[in-house]
Chain A
Amino acid sequence: MHDSKTTIALEVNEEPVEVAFAPHKTLLEVLREDLGLTGTKHGCELGECGTCTVLLDGTPVLSCLVLGLACAGRRVKTVEGMADRGTLHPLQEAFAELGAAQCGYCTPAFLLASEALLAANASPSRDVIKDALAGNLCRCTGYIKIYEAVELAAARMRGEDASPAAESLYGYE
């Protein structure tokens, strides 16, 4: 319980970082408690809900199950690293536009899982999106606005001039 701290160097949101922490700490704890990056949330700290998802070398991981020590020399991306110099990432933009973030607590995790999906597949079908996000729980949205936001962002990232369907925002006639 009173381990002395260990220092590691890693890259967080494209910046080199050195951080000292007790060696039993998870990446989730290191991010939130030692690096002040509270954008990464937690819903169980047992690897069940996906709420703490971050990207480790580009791959979504549950930061509550990854030891901080295991991240030495690696690249971590959190929600704080998504916007570029004050401009929202297309996924962030689409989530905001469609109301895909209600309480917003699971949102950082969905954004990062979606970013990894779109990096691997620029035109995912609805079923592929569902599969990719099946490990992330959301209690507010019923996931529908999240799928629509991922599809909207994907279209825009492919260079299409896309906007939300009227039925998404106003319902069916």
Chain B
Amino acid sequence: MGTSKKTATERRPSELRVVGRALRKVDATSKVTGATRFADDLFLPRMLYAKLLRSPHPHARIVSIDPSAARSLPGVKAVLTGPDLPIPFGILPVSQDEHALALDKVRFVGDPVAAVAATTEEIATQALDLIRVEYEPLRAFPNAIDAVEHADPAIHDYADAGNIHKLIDLEFGDVDAGFRDADLVREDLFFFEGSTHLPMEQHAAAADWSPPPGGRLTVWSSTQTPHYVHRALAKVLELSPARIRVIACPNGGGFGGKSDPFSHEIVVAKLAMVTGRPIKITLTREEVFYCHRGRHPTLMWVKTGVKQDGAITGMHFKSLLDGGGYGSYGVASTYYTGALQTVTYPVPRYKFQGARAFTNKPPCGPKRGHGTPQPRFALEVHIDKLAEQLRMDPADLRLKHLVPPHSVTANWLRIGTMGLGRCIEKVVSGSDWKRRFKQLPYGQGIGLACSSYITGAGLPIYWNAMPHSGVQLKCDRGGGVTVFCGSTEIGQGSDSILAMIVAEVLGLDPAHIAVVTGDTDLTPVDLGSYSSRVTLMTGNAAIQAAERARDLIAPHVARKLEVPERRLAFADGRVFDVEQPEHGLGFAEAVQLAEAAEGTVGTVGSYTPPRSPGRYRGAGVGPSPAYSYSACVALVDVDPATGIVRVPKIWIAHDVGRVINAASVMGQIEGSVYMGLGEALMEEMAYRGNRKVVHKIPSLLEYKSPTTLEMCDVVTYVVEDPDPNGPFGAKECGQGPLLPVPPAVANAVYDAVGVRIDEVPITPEKVFKALRRKEKGEDPRFGPTHFPDIPWPEPTCVPPPWEGGDGGAVEGGKGRQRAPEAARP
């Protein structure tokens, strides 16, 4: 409250009236009454329906397409094929490798090839069967190792080497020297299977076109990133962005799966233009599996040197990602598999080598935690093994070696506040760790793991100097305030964050704040709901806009009340003299004074993250305004006869910086634990093992995800270590708490039955096989045994801060960032 010139982060919680409370979300009523309009809930007059014909081959050249029979089916209004939309697109500037409809070849079973617009969905579906496509099948690549070993035939005409899309080699100090300094050096191999987002809402998009002159296109979509859809539509349709309006409908679950511009969004726009009628497409559940962009299957090798007390002396990490048929966010994902190893425990010397292979499967991309749950799983199980060899309690080892707050890591990430120690203490005491670890009966076990995640990517996907988030504020003479922001409500509660923050600064009831979001015509750009960026970035932009509104209104109130401006407070829907609180005006009257004097009362605010100290090529992935921290303890029951693992309970503590909406924070943490549990135990994108590379299970029944019967009890601790970069100190909570769950479960399985499952999901079959090996006196483990030879490039050598570096690469500037690198998170 108040006109105090203290920044929002310096406010003490006792001064906060809205922030920190558990409030109903602004859209709660419309969600529970079914009134929320998702994209497929749109029915426009004269609306047509679109369907996509998808490839039955994993890898094939398109010899010919004959749509004539489909075109002549009554009710069909248009059929499109690749040449109708020849311009490529993709989320990252460095991998514009997708076409709305395949031009000359298909790269996975499910790759879109043709599109139909018809008066009904049934006719459109029928028309698909009439499109004749002749394919010349090519050798298909079922996994990353196969793609690394065979360059021919090339899946794409661009790649760093053969079918290896991206190669990264970064060195921060001399890791070999680090290993020489160590008392113990250990190497491990891990595999993290791919999984998908599985939002309950199937993707849908609708489009409307008003013909020229003045033609304007409107596209509604279940997208997390309307700004990038806007860009892609303008590019592929060769239309000025000024004539395109993208409206992000509330998403029925996103989790990263609706963050790419998609074929169906572009196709439906083109079909609206071609037919002159509004049109909608709703993907089937099977098609949602083909859109994918989920977790990259990742093979990892890690070697770490430690001192007797557990202090890390050096770490070398290698990852191989199975990217699927297209680039998507993959370049960023690959960097992310090496970026955050350094932000939990000090790593004085660090080397990362990452590779992403193209394969003939649906493209992988960003799923909750984007590229970091895989290495976090590897690292936390690896540390558990190191602790055992050092005869240290794994909780103690971690507590002893925490990255200091307000420090810079070996790879030049600037850490702000760091609440991991408090998180570990919470779950250790809550779970009675000290009395349970290594002391439970055979078959029961307890495991611990930690993690950290970014609160927004420090750099935008398209490098530019503009803000990442913008907010406009309109103060109505009736006392209401409308917040306009390009952010996208995907269920995480971002609309409510805007209302709460504006209400806090202006001293209003959040119910008096109207929120308009995710509409490129109405709202200033926010880059989208990804990388856990929205609360921090839109929150800071909203604070700035609200503080400017306060500063605009205050002088007029001060004059009227005849008190100095500095004595005014904005609280409880009033503006008043702090020294005589009864002396004041209602907020509406205050706005009226300002409006009479200055005209319409409106302000803007925006946010750009602080510059990161890293200046080497690749330094764009990893920096963030703030890092959240989590610690997790999992309790498991393992049935040695079947290998079935049940998780009755998880304790999770999360450093969220500062709670904005307590109810939303709890929901995000519990939801993250749930999704982490699914990945730990059952979720996997499985393909038939022959060269057809057909998705085995594109259905909600066969893709196993936790139901109420598998979900565990969760004990949640919310730790607040306010970060100076966060709005009121807030950091993220929507992705980070997923990360420690899979390794905590794996470590607990080891505690229960003494076998290491170095691979998720931890299925009964894997546990059973490892137990059999243990019985036979073999290595009691299930997991990968080999990391392939990869043609790594010359390393980019960047001295860590304590070796006197300046954040750039050495050797005559080799690897130093010259031009803005386009591929950023």
Contacts and interface: CB of A to CB of B under 8 A. Distances in A.
A99 B29 contact: no
Given A139-B198, A172-B430, A111 B252 contact: no
A134 interface: yes
A26 interface: no
Interface string B111-123: 0000000001011
Given A80-B34, A169-B663, A172-B430, A96 B708 contact: no
Report the contact-size class of chain A (Cβ under 8 Å from the partner): 35 or more
A16 to B, nearest CB: 21
Contact of A108 (B24, B34, B43, B126): B34
B667 interface: yes
A123 interface: no
Given A88-B29, A102-B491, A103-B31, 4 more contacts: A48-B701, A103-B201, A107-B32, A145-B670
Contacts of A118: none
Contact of B662 (A41, A79, A108, A169): A169
A96 B667 contact: no
Interface in B456-505: 490-493
B28 interface: yes
A110 to B, nearest CB: 10
Given A38-B41, A46-B700, A96-B28, A105 B430 contact: no
Contacts, number: 200
A134 B40 CA distance: 26
Nearest to A109: B200
A51 to B, nearest CB: 5
A48 B200 contact: no
A83 B670 contact: no
B284 A83 contact: no
15 contacts: A1-B122, A46-B700, A48-B285, A96-B25, A97-B663, A103-B31, A103-B253, A104-B252, A131-B708, A144-B670, A144-B711, A145-B670, A170-B659, A170-B662, A172-B430
Contacts of A139: 197-200, 253, 255, 671, 674-675, 705
B744 interface: no
- The 8 closest A-B CB pairs, nearest first, are A39-B34, A103-B491, A142-B674, A105-B252, A104-B31, A79-B34, A96-B28, A169-B22
A45 interface: yes
A142 B652 CA distance: 13
Given A78-B34, A102-B491, A170-B22, A49 B674 contact: no
A137 interface: yes
B718 A171 contact: yes
Interface string B698-714: 01110001011101011
Which of B31, B662, B664, B718 has the most CB atoms of chain A within a 10 A radius of its CB? B31
A144 B36 CA distance: 22
Contacts of A33: 43
Contacts of B666: 99, 145, 168-171
Dominant secondary structure at the B interface: loop
B478 to A, nearest CB: 22
Nearest to A132: B708
Contact of B199 (A37, A98, A103, A133): A103
Interface string B599-632: 0000000000000000000000000000000000
Which of B122, B252, B665, B718 has the most CB atoms of chain A within a 10 A radius of its CB? B252
Contacts of A168: 666
Contact of A104 (B491, B677, B701, B714): B491
Interface string A59-82: 000000000000000000011101
B341 interface: no
Interface in A149-173: 164, 167-173
B707 A140 contact: no
Nearest to A112: B34
B352 interface: no
Contacts of B22: 99, 164, 169-170
A24 to B, nearest CB: 9
B717 interface: yes
Given A88-B32, A143-B711, A172-B716, A103 B200 contact: yes
Given A43-B200, A111-B32, A134 B709 contact: yes
B33 A79 contact: yes
Contacts of A105: 38, 199-201, 252-253, 491
B38 A41 contact: yes
A164 B662 CA distance: 13
Contacts of A131: 708-709
A106 B715 contact: no
Contacts of A95: 28, 31-32
Which of A96, A97, A131, A140 has the most CB atoms of chain B within a 10 A radius of its CB? A140
Contacts of A134: 707-709
A20 B22 CA distance: 46
Nearest to B37: A38
Contacts of B708: 129-131, 133-134, 136, 143, 147
A142 B671 contact: yes
B761 interface: no
B711 A142 contact: yes
B337 interface: no
B342 interface: no
B310 interface: no
Contacts of B667: 99, 102, 140-141, 145
Contact of B671 (A41, A130, A140): A140
A106 to B, nearest CB: 5
Contacts of B670: 141-142, 144-145
Interface string B236-264: 00000000000000111111000000000
B27 interface: yes
Interface string B635-669: 00000000000000000000000010011111101
A84 B36 CA distance: 18
A45 B204 CA distance: 14
A104 B675 CA distance: 17
A172 B666 CA distance: 10
Given A79-B34, A88-B29, A103 B122 contact: no
Contact of B491 (A130, A140, A144): A140
B202 interface: yes
Contacts of A172: 430, 715-717
A64 B190 CA distance: 41
Contacts of B674: 139, 141-143
Nearest to A36: B43
Contacts of A45: 284-285
Interface in B703-749: 705, 707-709, 711, 713-718
B819 interface: no
B44 to A, nearest CB: 13
B673 interface: yes
A138 interface: yes
Given A137-B707, A170-B718, A107 B31 contact: yes
A99 B200 contact: no
B35 A39 contact: yes
A119 interface: no
A92 B32 contact: yes
A138 B430 CA distance: 27
A136 B708 CA distance: 8
A27 B120 CA distance: 17
